[in-house]
Amino acid sequence: MARVCSVCTKGPATGNNVSHANNRTKRRWYPNLQTVRVMVEGAPRRVRVCTRCLKSNRVKKAS
């Protein structure tokens, strides 16, 4: 399953771990995704949404 928000399509960011000796190894930062029941086209569905979209009310939660 892809680690992507279904609302804003936010995905993993890439960069480097940097040690004291300035050795660089690849690393990834993952978005904070939550599985939420959301109304999609009038029906409740489980989707993965980032917490930023949840806080800003970009999704209509199903009761």
- Dmax of the chain from CA atoms? 55
Question: What pTM, to 2 d.p., does this model score?
Answer: 0.82
Domains within the chain, CATH numbers bracketed = 1-63 (2.30.170.40)
pLDDT computed for residue 1 by the predictor: 64
| 23-55 residue pLDDT tens | 999 999 999 999 999 998 999 999 999 999 999
Q: Is the pLDDT of residue 61 over 80?
A: yes
Q: Please report the DSSP string for the chain in residue order.
A: -----TTT----EEEEEE-TT--EEEEEE---EEEEEEEETTEEEEEEEEHHHHHTT-S-B--
Instruction: Name which residue leads in pLDDT, 12 or 63.
Output: 12
pLDDT computed for residue 63 by the predictor: 80
